[in-house]
Each structure stands twice: as C-alpha cells, then as structure tokens.
Amino acid sequence: MGKKISCHFVVFLTCSSLLCVLKVAVAGRVVPLLQGYEKGSYGYSRSFNNIFDTSNYGTVQLNNGLARTPQMGWNSWNFFACNINETVIKETADALISTGLAKLGYVYVNIDDCWCSIRDLKGQLVPDSKTFPSGIKALADYVHGKGLKLGIYSDAGAFTCQVRPGSLFHEKDDAELFASWFIKYHRNKWALKLVGHSLHCPIPGKGVDYLKYDNCFNLGIKPKERYPPMRDALNETGRTIFYAICEWGVDDPALWADKVGNSWRTTDDINDSWASMTTIADLNDKWASYAGPGGWNDPDMLEVGNGGMTYHEYRAHFSIWALMKAPLLIGCDVRNMTAETIEILTNEEVIAVNQGEVHPLSVGLLGAWGVFHFVEGRKVYSSGTDGCLQVWAGPLSGHRIVVAFWNRCSKAATITAGWDALGLESSTSVSVRDLWQHKDVVEDAVASFGARVDAHDCQIFVFTVHSAYHSEI
Ligand SMILES: *[C@@H]1O[C@H](CO)[C@@H](O)[C@H](O)[C@H]1NC(C)=O
Ligand SMILES: *[C@@H]1O[C@H](CO)[C@@H](O)[C@H](O)[C@H]1NC(C)=O
Ligand SMILES: *[C@@H]1O[C@H](CO)[C@@H](O)[C@H](O)[C@H]1NC(C)=O
Ligand SMILES: *[C@@H]1O[C@H](CO)[C@@H](O)[C@H](O)[C@H]1NC(C)=O
C-alpha cells in the first residue's frame, strides 16, 4: 500500500512540473519582461528598469496564444472607408503578395465596416449582396488560399458606426458565423488516395483570423460589460480568433482589457494629418508599461501612403508606431503605392524593432521561446519649445536599445540623447546603426549621441551596448 502511494506521488510530481514547464512556455506574461537587465550588467544603470517600467503588464491575460508580437496586415477603412467590395479585398490580397509585403509579415487582410447589410429573420448577419455577392466564406477561402488571414469587423452596440447591424446581445450567433467562415478546407491527400476522389476536410484549430470590435451605438453600457461577452463567444467557437478591441480608449482599456482582448485601441480614430498622428502617439505613450506579449496598446492603423503627410512625416509615423509595439496595419491602397510608400512600409529593420528578430511567421512555431524583446518603447526625453525635440526609446533583445530622434519642431535641429535618459551608465560604450540609412554610423559612442534631424522627420537607431563584461568573453 505504501508503495502504491509513493508511486502516485511520483506521478503527481512529474505531471505538475511538466504542466509548470508548459505554462511558462506558453504564457509569456509569467516571465518578467525586463529580465536580464540587472544593474551593473552590460552597462545599464539603476534607472533603466524605471525608465522602461513594465510593472503594469498584467499577470492575467486573455491567453488565447495570439499576439505574441503586434499584429501586422492591412485594413480597408483608412483609404476606402465604406467604398469596399469583394474585388477590392481580393486585389488587395493579391497586392500584399506581389509587393512582398506579406512575406514581411503583413498577413491580416481586415475588412472594416460596411460588409454587412442586414440581420435576417433567423438572426444571422447577411453580407451586402451588391458589394459581396459571393459571400464572406468565399472571400475567406480566397485569402486563405494565398496563405493570408482574413479579418472581419463588428460592433459592441446595436449598430456599427455606419449603421449596419451590431453584435451586442448577438455575440454567440455572430461569433459562430465568423468562425464558420474561417474554417480552412484542404484536400486531404490520404483520403484522396483511399477513396480516389477529392475530399474536403476542415482542419480544426489551424489558420488564425481576426475580429475588430467597434464601439458605436453602445446604448451607454460600459465597455467592461460589452466586450467580454464577445471574448467568451469567440472562445466557445473553439477557433483561435484575434480579438482587437476598439472602444477608442474611452474607459482606459489598458487597465482592464488585457484580460479581454489581444489589443485595445487607446485613442479616438486617427486621420491622415500630422496633428492627429502626433496627438495619438502622445496619448498612446501614457500606457507603455501595460503592454506586452498577448495584449498590445493600439494607437490605430497606419496612414502611410494616403497623401495627407509628407515623406518625412510618414517615416516618423512608421518609426514611432514600430517602436511603440503598435499593430502595423497598413491603411493605404496597396494596389497603387508610390516608391516612397513602399520604401517606408518594407523597411525590414524598422519592422524588426516591432516584431523582434525572429521572423513573424515563425513565432507561431516557437511560441514564447521565439519572442525575446517585447517592451513597448516610449518617450524618454524632450527639449526645445513645448518639448518638440524628442527622444523615444525601448529595450530590445541582445543588449540593444532602439532610439528614435523625433523632431516635432518646425526647423531642422540637433537632437541628443544622454545616457542618463536611456538608463545607461555614462561610461558605457555603444555602437549605433541608422535604420533608415541602413548603415552603422558610429562604432563607439560614450555618454551621449546626437544627430541633425529635419523638421517633422524621425531618425531611428539601434544602439548595441558593449560592456566590460561583454568584452571579457
Ligand atoms: C469596388 O470598389 C472599388 C473601390 O471603391 C471601386 O473602384 C470599384 O469600382 C468597385 N467595383 C465594383 C464592381 O463595384
Ligand atoms: C479559451 O480560453 C482558454 C482559457 O483562457 C484558453 O486556454 C483557450 O486557449 C481558449 N480557446 C480559444 C479557442 O481561444
Ligand atoms: C484630425 O485630427 C486632428 C487632431 O485630433 C483634428 O484636429 C482634426 O480636426 C481632424 N481632422 C479631421 C478631418 O477629422
Ligand atoms: C494611384 O495613386 C495616385 C496617387 O499616388 C493617384 O493619383 C491615382 O489616381 C491612383 N490610381 C488608381 C488607379 O487608383
């Protein structure tokens, strides 16, 4: 009998420690985000952990396995608004492939408002028959066939912002409908051999899709009450669906939404202007210590390529969004981009600041182990009139720091980052790489580094920290 008990005990121990290992591997949030930056090692100073505070990154999260890195893709709203149809969506999917954007990680093809016309008598949402005559399922199959993912849109209210049916109180039905479209069918080769003709078999749990959930006509019910039911309904479908909360930052979602969604909008809608973009960057910055793998602050989609800002302003927009670990959702017409727009959106070094050095497509395979640096960058220093000469920075893996010099003044100026603002000991030496010029500019900077920056431009660098400890090995 004693033998039996000890046997069970051993089994119990083995199981629970195995569970522990699995849990750590899957839930990135258990691991402190700033692990490995202890004072003294690698030339970081005591203030490093305060400057890049991550203490508000929650201990409980949605934990559906998605959003290990911020989402990347395209969304129809910023360029097309309500003027969408299945042709545009298909041509966009084609263009994401032909331009090489998909290979860089832009894989979500997200349909925004206006795809739906009515809710039928059975209570089911019906795609607009004029603009989406083949239905959304056919579109999902087309997009999946290209190796991309489809995103859909709905609203936590009675209607969407363009007054189409909303999902409030219909969460279960709508989640089931979305999930049914997202099921990927493929020809099962074994079945084909066995029965001699093609069989279409669903692959449960494969392929991942997306819901953007808006906030119009919300009947005055608190977001905290309206957003969880859709989370639960999506979860119950058994399909892993990226849940992007879009409640415009009205109820400080960073404080609660990590348990609800994979990303949460922190602000009102962006528009294609310098004033909007800069305002939104500052509002989003406030919540930097709350974001991390599994749940990201969302300062809204990119306007790069839509014509309302200059080349330098768009470069700044893209640099700062990448550094803030914002979703990189392209908002222009990717079927018709200028060379400058392509240059900005395909800057692999800037994308790597946002996504980590591991290729985004491989993160799914490696899980938490594939992700090394996911602290949201932030504004760390400003000077000049109204603080318009700014330094933004964030820790990266491999003892590197991303540093952006953002000149929001109206004249060219020199911006300098002192090591105290970056949390480095003044004697620490770093090498500096410029991510827009694609070259190493300084081998051995000590105490500070400065550069001339045009008005409204943003230069973005990666600092690699050399330390005594490092050179000893
Ligand atoms: C689809 O939408 C695009 C963009 O708004 C428009 O140019 C095109 O004419 C539309 N096509 C059809 C068939 O409605
Ligand atoms: C549903 O939620 C549970 C608990 O958080 C999670 O483990 C599971 O992966 C979720 N499933 C889906 C399909 O999102
Ligand atoms: C764009 O946003 C800015 C800043 O929030 C605002 O001042 C401006 O009125 C907006 N423009 C439009 C066309 O909505
Ligand atoms: C392509 O974009 C340019 C502006 O960059 C615009 O003038 C032109 O009309 C667009 N062409 C099409 C076919 O949309």
**Tokens, residue 213:** 């959930």
Out of 173, 252, 268, 269, the active site residue is: 269
Residue found under tokens 């000991």 = 425
**Residue length of the chain:** 473
Distance CA 300, CA 308 (A): 16
Q: What is the separation, in whole angstroms, between the first and last Cα of the chain?
A: 55
The predicted structure's pLDDT at residue 17: 35
Does residue 25 carry a pLDDT above 70? no
The predicted structure's pLDDT at residue 206: 42
Does residue 22 carry a pLDDT above 90? no
Contact criterion met (CB below 8 Å) for 401 and 422: yes
Does residue 201 carry a pLDDT above 60? no
Give mean pLDDT, residues 186-197.
Answer: 38
Distance CA 168, CA 158 (A): 6
The predicted structure's pLDDT at residue 308: 98
Residue found under tokens 């006509």 = 217
* Ligand 3 proximity of 276 Cβ (cutoff 6 Å): yes
Q: Which of 306, 314, 336, 342 to mutate to test the pocket of ligand 4 (most atoms within 8 A of CB)?
A: 336
* Ligand 3 proximity of 160 Cβ (cutoff 6 Å): no
Q: Which residue's alpha carbon is nearest to atom 11 within ligand 2?
A: 235
* Ligand 3 proximity of 473 Cβ (cutoff 6 Å): no
Out of 112, 174, 214, 285, the active site residue is: 214
Does residue 327 carry a pLDDT above 80? yes
Distance CA 419, CA 151 (A): 42
Q: What percent of the chain has pLDDT over 70?
A: 80
H helical segments located in 308-456: 311-323, 339-345, 348-355, 360-366, 419-422
The predicted structure's pLDDT at residue 299: 98
Counting from 1 in the atom list of ligand 2, the atom nearest the Cα of 238 is 13
**Tokens, residue 438:** 């694609």
Q: Is 53 a catalytic residue?
A: no
* Ligand 1 proximity of 88 Cβ (cutoff 6 Å): yes
Q: b vs e for 46-71, b when ≥16 Cβ sit within 10 Å of the residue's Cβ?
A: eebbebbbbeebbeebbbbebbbbbb
Q: Give pTM, 2 decimals.
A: 0.88
Q: Which residue's alpha carbon is nearest to atom 4 within ligand 3?
A: 276
Closest CA to 295 of 10, 2, 28, 4: 28
Cα separation values, 440 from 61, 145, 263, 397, 452, Å: 39, 40, 34, 18, 16
Q: Which residue's alpha carbon is nearest to atom 3 within ligand 2?
A: 64
Does residue 229 carry a pLDDT above 80? yes
Alpha-carbon Rg for the chain in angstroms: 24
The predicted structure's pLDDT at residue 32: 55
Q: Is 269 a catalytic residue?
A: yes
Which helix (H) or strand (E) element contains residue 75? strand 72-75
Using one digit for the tens of pLDDT, what is the confidence trace for 129-144?
999 999 999 999 999 9
Name the pLDDT band for 347 (thresholds 50, 70, 90). very high
Q: b vs e for 231-249, b when ≥16 Cβ sit within 10 Å of the residue's Cβ?
A: bebbeebebbbbbbbbbbb
* Ligand 4 proximity of 338 Cβ (cutoff 6 Å): yes
**Ligand closest in space to the Cα of 84:** 1
Give mean pLDDT, residues 376-380.
Answer: 97
**Tokens, residue 202:** 């669903």
Tell how far the Cα of 275 is from the centroid of ligand 3, in angstroms: 7
Domains of the chain in sequence order: 62-372 (3.20.20.70), 378-465 (2.60.40.1180)
The predicted structure's pLDDT at residue 108: 97
Name the pLDDT band for 21 (thresholds 50, 70, 90). very low
Does residue 441 carry a pLDDT above 60? yes
| Contact residues for 360 (Cβ-Cβ < 8 A; gap 6+) | 69, 72, 105, 107
Q: Which residue's alpha carbon is nearest to atom 7 within ligand 4?
A: 336
Q: Which residue's alpha carbon is nearest to atom 1 within ligand 1?
A: 85
Strands lying side by side in the sheet with 328-330? 296-298, 263-265, 241-245, 209-214, 149-155, 108-110, 72-75, 328-330
Cα separation values, 386 from 315, 317, 408, Å: 22, 19, 9
Contact criterion met (CB below 8 Å) for 267 and 248: yes
**Ligand closest in space to the Cα of 259:** 2
Tell how far the Cα of 149 is from the centroid of ligand 4, in angstroms: 26
Closest CA to 96 of 70, 74, 113: 74
